[in-house]
Amino acid sequence: MSKKIILCVVLLLATSLAPSSAKRKKTARKAAPKTEQRYQEIDNYDFLYTGEEYDYQDSYAAIDNLMDEAFSHIGARYRSGAKGPYAFDCSGFTSYVYGRMNKSIGCSSRDQYAKNMPIRNSEIQAGDLVFFTSPGSGRNVGHVGIVVDVDPVSGSFNFIHASSSSGVKVSNSRDGYYSRRYIGARRVI
């Protein structure tokens, strides 16, 4: 009986070692890639380029200028139909700020939503326009703001806008009022 147990143990060990030795043989046969090939793969950043020269410094500077202009109006009062610089409605604020950067984005929030390039929520970045319904707009666009920053973990964003209750201020997309009314985002090009 003890001979049978020992034999079984030996067979189990032999079969458990067989696959691992086969794996070692397979990996030993593969030659490591040449150093030159590895560097070529690492240095290949073609997927990042669209064929056009893109100056990131100018882009960052433009966003900084846009944010400086927007934040210079914090606290400005809300007035329906006002287009600045001392009072704004929501679309008046966004069109005024972008106008100071020599960009025409449309006059009304609906026009801005229709005129600018649609983007996915995962693509939102500072300077993008974000749109919401309002109590009087039903399910249509009724409010707009400019993205200030994005939380990459949660996907929420802060945006600056002309609020009918508080004037120009910064709000978060997770605030109950705005999270229920969010429609989408657009990029100004």
User: Which residues are known to be catalytic?
Assistant: 90, 143, 161
Cα dihedral sign, 171-175-180-184:
positive
Give me 19's structure tokens. 């696959």
- Classify 57 as helix, strand or coil: helix
Asked if 186 and 129 count as a contact pair (C-beta separation under 8 A), the reply is yes
| One-letter amino acid of 53 | E
Reported for 167-172, long-range contacts at CB under 8 A and 24+ positions apart, including other chains, are 167/75, 167/76, 167/77, 167/78, 167/87, 167/88, 168/70, 168/73, 168/74, 168/75, 168/76, 168/78, 168/88, 168/93, 169/74, 169/75, 170/74, 171/145
Rounded Cα gap, residues 114 and 136, in angstroms? 19
Both tokens assigned to 129? 């326009």
Q: Let me know: does 106 contact 116? Beta carbons within 8 Å.
A: yes
